Structure 1
Amino acid sequence: MGPLLQVPSDRDRNRALDIFNRVTEKAGIGSHGLTVGVSGFGGTATALFPFVQDDEGMAANGSDLYVFCDLLAIAVSGAHPSGLVLRTLGQPQTVRGWKFIDGDPMPLNRAEAFTAYTLHPDADGPLIPLPGTEYADAPVIHI
């Protein structure tokens, strides 16, 4: 059984879709992965949305989008500690992150992103970043 999480409202779902659209727009051309994590009673739920963007648009799996946006809507509700990560694949791989405060995505700077994604509460110590990974300042997401 997964963690217990609040059911998002229709407003939360609409805001989640807006945030999703803005983040994927800012991702630009290339291969990317979005991960959302939401902590609830009994653990953390995560969802991954891999996608590729080119001049013609986005290629992705629609069922991944549904699961991802559903969990993103819970993050947007502000009821649980939550975060969002955008990984852009390539050489180097680039990582950007946001934490949700009262349901709003607040960008992390590169040092905050590094700290957030190389420390894990279940690990005995810091996680070693993958070689070729750069941490970058996340853009502001206006909603």
Structure 2
Amino acid sequence: MIMRTWSVKDRVCGWKFVDGKPEPLTKAKLFDAYCYDPDTGEYGDPYSDAEFTEAPNIEF
């Protein structure tokens, strides 16, 4: 799950789900997930106004 907020500087963070529980993605993993094009198998450039940040932990 990816969350992007729009502002002067966009912020992007994300989680992967393991056994139904969200686990925060690191900046590197988030970049890989957000910039990967599955159609070409290539990585694209991130938006210049986007800041990749560590996702907060979500507790149930």
Taking structure 2 as the reference length, what is the TM-score of the superposition? 0.88
Give the alignment partner of residue 37 of structure 2, picking from 96, 120, 127: 120
Q: Structure 2 counterpart of 1:131, which letter?
A: S
Runs (5+) with no aligned partner, structure 2: none
Question: Number of residues paired by the alignment?
Answer: 60
Give the alignment partner of residue 105 of structure 1, picking from 18, 22, 27: 22
C-alpha RMSD of matched pairs (Å):
1.1
Deviations 1:17-36, CA, capped at 9 Å, x for gaps? xxxxxxxxxxxxxxxxxxxx
Larger Rg: 1
Q: Structure 2 counterpart of 1:99, which letter?
A: K
Over the matched positions of the two proteins, sequence identity in percent amounts to 38
Runs (5+) with no aligned partner, structure 1: 1-83
Higher relative contact order (CA closer than 8 Å, sequence separation 6+) = 2
Q: Does 1:136 align with 2:17?
A: no
In the alignment, the residues of structure 2 paired with residue 141 and residue 102 of structure 1 have an alpha-carbon distance, to the nearest angstrom, of: 14
In the alignment, the residues of structure 2 paired with residue 101 and residue 118 of structure 1 have an alpha-carbon distance, to the nearest angstrom, of: 21
In the alignment, the residues of structure 2 paired with residue 91 and residue 115 of structure 1 have an alpha-carbon distance, to the nearest angstrom, of: 23
